[in-house]
Structure 1
Amino acid sequence: MESGTFYVCRNINNRSGPRTQSRCKVEENARKQRGSRCLVLITVGLGLICVLLLVFIIMLHITITAERDLIKSYKNTVEEFKQTINSLQDNYTDLTQKNLVLETKYKDLTTEKNQFQSNFSSLNQKKLELESRVTSLSDELQKEESKQRNLCGSVCFFISTELMSWSDSRQYCRDRGADLVIINTEEKQRFISSLVSERVWIGLSDREQEGNMKWVDNSTLKQGFWLKGEPNNTDNEDCIELNYNREKLGWSPLNSWNDDQCSAKKKGICEK
């Protein structure tokens, strides 16, 4: 077929000439070739369509699988988030409770601190008062000691600052280079009586032998200045005191000695 011309070839009793039959064969072969090409193109096209369809199916499967995995991963992530949130909520509840406990402890400690501060202020005030009193007493003591230690003429007399037994009072005097006073004259008795305003030990006792009064220098008593009825040795009274008691019956500067238990606590008058 060329230029829109159709040739119809018929084999009718071989009426056509040889040229016409040859032309018809050529035309028929051409038609067969075109048919084969179309079939090939259709086959190729269908193959390509199948390939594309297979690729699409594979891609769709991959996409669906990926989305499924993504959804699964998302669900796992959501579940993890839920667990994390629950854990955080539990931790928050626990921390809230601990915070309440700590706040309660803080309030208690604050109350105790305020109480301690109040007690400290009170104690500090008492401390200041005691320090002031100690200072005052120390000043008075120094004045008294100064007064007592300055009672010196040809000899020096001083009175101990603490209440002690007769033996401890004597040791107090000896530690200071003195001894308990020895009174062997009326003039000295009057002088010593004028120095004291309380009951004090003197250096006389009969501890070694009852009734045998001796001074601390081991000399024997020659003249005594006893209260009326003394010494009476009631309850083993072996040490002698100068009893300053103006209200006592029969008391006078020349009648002021009394025997007492040596363990009794009182000050001692020392002579140096």
Structure 2
Amino acid sequence: MEEIYVNVEYDKSVHPRSSTNQTGPRSSERRFYRAAVLCLGLLSVFLLVGLISLGVHSHSTAHGAAGELSTIKANMTELLQDSDKELSFLTAERDQLNSRVSSLTAKLSEMTKDRDRLDSLSKKTCPAGWTQFSWSCYILSSRSDSWTNGRSDCHNKGADLVIINSKEEQEFVSGFTNQSAWIGLSDRAEEGTWKWVDGSPLTFKFWDMKQPDDRNGEDCAEIDVQRGHKWNDLPCGHSLLWICEKKV
């Protein structure tokens, strides 16, 4: 067989776009790649900036929150201290009020007892022949005798020699007798120490001038009409009237 050769000569001028068609796609890919890289770079920058901003904001927020927490804590501490002071004040006020209430209750109790006692006493009267002054009954003896025998007579009547504790009682006793009489005062137990028959010391005194002088064993006291019903000391064996006293 005879081989046939065809000589074809490529003419670039016939297809002028063939070179452009071959390089165009590669150029577009490069531009796209560059744009993508640029976008990624910008995105990375924005992300980094965002992270930094978020960190700064978080730090600022945390710092601000810590400051606010510290302020709140300080305010709470101050409030608690004020509350403790107020509580202490109220506790002291309560204790004082309780003390006053207790005191008033005790006084009220005493007043109630006094009222009941007065009510009871108001219903009582002195026996026949006795004279009442305040809450006591008095009687003047009908005979004279020694201080000791006069006291024994008072005991037989359920009484004792009179004890004078006030100016008012002294005035009553002064008007009760127009004769000198024994009263329940002596220093027989201890020389120079005058006491009433119930053992109580003198809270009221009505001695005459320079009395008691304790001459010749004068250990018992009288109410002396010659001295203006003032008190005078005499020997206990002297014979006088006497005044007895007993409670209503």
**TM-score tier after normalising by the smaller chain length:** 0.3 to 0.5
The structure with the largest helix share of the pair is: 1
Structure 1 or 2, whichever has the larger Rg, is: 1
Q: Which has the higher contact order (CA 8 A, sep 6+)?
A: 2
